[in-house]
Amino acid sequence: MIRLLKLEIHKNFSYPAFWVILGLHYFFLVTVLFNIQDLAGSLNISDSDYGNMDLSLVPILQFPDIWHNITYIASFFKILLGIFIVINITNEFQFNTIRLNLTNGLSRVEFISSKILLIIIISIVSLAVVFAGGLVLGLKNHEGTGTIQMLDQSIYLIGYFLEILIYLVLALFIGIWLKRTGISIVALLIYPLLIEPIIRWQFPDTIDRFFPVNAMDELIVFPFPKYFGIEIPEGISPLMIGVVIAWIIIFYLLSIFILKKKSL
């Protein structure tokens, strides 16, 4: 495992796109998180049932609501990470570095596993950034809550980690399958918006919720209707956690299967 990790570090730390794309991701993520309250305060929302609502007065950044709110918002920025993974894996084919790695004794399973390690590290760093940001913002808006309440609803951090993980493993699978950077990025962008919804449309609701993107979306549901008195699911369904983990394993195994079948 250490050998595979060193291999990915050596490949990526000297690769400009690694720093540019990941830097942009974390820059946008931190910028948005630390300006949520200002953005909310600039919005004037009127509802026939609840009247005018000043969102600057809503406890968006107070414990324990902050964990649900910021993980939902932060999840939108995973697209940049997915694009990086696609570029990372397709470049292996384009520049024949994968063939060089295999010639030097790396097995195809080890090659995929090295990419999974990279994905896990990126997901952990993203989780750490969101956790640190949430802690700073929550303490800044602290109103005498105890440690227990500060950590209440922190289950959403696990949901965020799994959402990043499954999305990046999906990006890895698409890159391995299609091999070309442009078409792989397009496929990654349109699959959640168009392809899977069309496929799910053929199935009943009892089945379509188990498709990968749908299961991923159910980890962290849209949190803000609760401030209008609309009931939303509390916490994260253990069933959806299991489904997402199952899809991560499936995409990992499919990536190995396709790579073994591909001619390099």
pLDDT, one tens digit per residue, over 167-190 is 999 999 999 999 999 999 999 999
pLDDT, one tens digit per residue, over 223-235 is 888 877 788 888 9
Does the bond joining 225 to the residue before it have cis omega, within 30 degrees of 0? no
Number of domains in the chain: 1
Q: What is the model's pLDDT at position 243?
A: 98
> Rounded distance, CA 28 to CA 169, Å?
22
Q: Which amino acid is at 76?
A: F
Instruction: Report, as an integer, the average pLDDT of 126-132.
Output: 96
Q: What residue numbers bound the domain in which 122 lies?
A: 2-261
Q: What is the mean pLDDT of the chain?
A: 88
Confidence class for position 213, pLDDT limits 50, 70, 90: very high
Q: What is the pTM for the complete model shown?
A: 0.92
Is 85 in contact with 176 (CB distance < 8 Å)?
no
Q: What is the model's pLDDT at position 48?
A: 47
Q: Which amino acid is at 221?
A: V
The answer on pLDDT for 249 being more than 70 is yes
Instruction: Name the DSSP class of 192.
Output: I
Six-digit token string for 31: 């910028």
Six-digit token string for 59: 């406890």
